[in-house]
Amino acid sequence: MSNIGLIIEERSRDIGDFLVGRLIPFRKKRMIGPFIFIDHMGPTTLGPDKYMDVDQHPHIGLSTLTYMLEGDIMHEDSIGTKQRIQPGSVNWMVAGKGVSHTERTPADLRNGKQFVAHGYQIWVALPEALEDIEPEFHHISKENLPQWKDGSAEFTLVAGEGYDKKSPVPVHSPLFMLEIKNTTEYQLNTKDHLKGEIGICIVDGAIEACGETVEKGNILVSKVEDTCRTILKPNTHILLFGGEPFKEERYIHWNFVSANKDKIEKAKTDWKAKTFPMMDHDDSYVPLP
C-alpha cells in the first residue's frame, strides 16, 4: 500500500499517510472502522432564548454515542430511558431493530442564564447479524472510564479497547475511541496500541503529520497501518477513533443504517405511518425528509 493519506474536510485533500477533512461520511471516505457518522455540536452558547431541542426521531441498525465536552443534555427514548449526560460521561444507545429518542436541554438549565454546549454525536454501525437486536441504553459515568497519563498527555478510553485497556461501554464490534489532551508538544504513538482503521478528530489546537500542520476542525484518516510520525502541538485536544471495518457495505439514509436496503425502506415507511416504536410521553415528531 502506498503512503497516501486523506484529510477530511469539505474538500478533502491528501497529505501523505492521511486523508484530511471535516466530518464523516464524506465523498472519499464513508466509514472509519464501524464509525459511520460524526456530528460536531457547537461549541455554541445557549440560553436565555435558545436551547437544544431535538424532537423525537428514529434510528435502526446502529448505536449512538453521545460525548459532551461542555454542557448537559437530557436523553429520553422509546424504551423508557431518561438520562442526563454531563461532560466526560457516555450515553450509549443501541437502536437495533428500532428506537426513537429526543435530546433536550435539561429543565433546570432553562433558567435565563447562558451556558456553552459542545460535544459529539457519533453513530457506530452494528454488525449485520446484530442489526435487529432489541434496543438498549447504557450510561457510563466519567469516573468509570479508563484514564491515564503519558508525559504531558492525558488519555481517556471512551469506548472499545486500546493501549491494553478496555472501556466498560458495551460495544458490539472491535473498535476504539479515545480522548487525548496535552500541554506540551507530544509525539503520539498508535503502533501496536490500536487495531484497525484510525481516525484523528482535532477538537482544538493542531497536529503535525507527514510534515504538514493540520488545524482544529479537521479529521485525519490513516490509510496505512503504521502511519507517519504524528505530533500534537502544545495544548491540543483530539479524539482518536476507529476499529475493524465491516466486510459488507453499509447504507445510510437519514437516521437509518443497514447492510440491507430493504430494512431502510421499511423503516422509512413505518416512520411515515407512525407505526415505528414511538415514545409514549412525547408527541413531538421529526418528519422523514
Q: Is the pLDDT of residue 14 over 70?
A: no
Residue 228: predicted pLDDT: 66
DSSP H helical ranges for the chain: 261-273
CA 169 to chain centre: 13
Nearest to 85 by CA among 60, 103, 112: 103
Is residue 175 assigned to a domain? Answer: yes
Does residue 238 sit in the same domain as residue 199? yes
Residue 1: predicted pLDDT: 21
Residue 44: predicted pLDDT: 87
Secondary structure of residue 249 in the 3-state scheme:
coil
Task: Give the alpha-carbon dihedral of 112, 113, 114, 116, to 10 degrees.
Answer: -110
Domains contained in the chain, number: 2
User: Mean pLDDT, to the nearest integer, of 158-172?
Assistant: 98
Q: Comparing 20 with 163, which gets the higher pLDDT? A: 163
Residue 56: predicted pLDDT: 97
Q: Is the pLDDT of residue 52 over 70?
A: yes
For cell 507530544, name the residue.
186
User: Mean pLDDT, to the nearest integer, of 226-243?
Assistant: 90
Beta bridge partners of 85: 73
Is residue 251 assigned to a domain? Answer: no
Q: Give the integer Cα–Cα distance in Å for 64 and 36.
A: 10
Least confident among 85-89, 129-133, 189-193: 189-193
Q: What is the CATH number of the domain that holds 46?
A: 2.60.120.10
Q: Give the integer Cα–Cα distance in Å for 65 and 83.
A: 13
Residue 231: predicted pLDDT: 95
Q: How confident is the model at residue 26 (pLDDT cuts 50, 70, 90)?
A: low
Is residue 155 assigned to a domain? Answer: yes
Q: Is the pLDDT of residue 181 over 90?
A: yes
Chain segment 122-131, per-residue pLDDT in tens:
999 999 999 9
Report yes or no on whether pTM surpasses 0.85: yes
User: Mean pLDDT, to the nearest integer, of 168-194?
Assistant: 96
Best-predicted range by mean pLDDT (15-19, 171-175, 190-194, 221-225): 171-175
Does residue 15 sit in the same domain as residue 79? no
Is residue 14 assigned to a domain? Answer: yes
Task: Give the alpha-carbon dihedral of 196, 177, 160, 13, to 10 degrees.
Answer: -20
Least confident among 25-29, 91-95, 185-189: 25-29
Residue 224: predicted pLDDT: 63
Averaged pLDDT of the chain:
90
Domain that holds residue 231: 1-33+143-243
Q: Is the pLDDT of residue 54 over 80?
A: yes
Pairing of strands 13-14, 153-162: unpaired
Residue 23: predicted pLDDT: 58
Q: Is the pLDDT of residue 257 over 50?
A: yes
Does residue 18 sit in the same domain as residue 70? no
Is residue 284 assigned to a domain? Answer: no
Q: Comparing 277 with 4, which gets the higher pLDDT? A: 277
Does residue 167 sit in the same domain as residue 25? yes
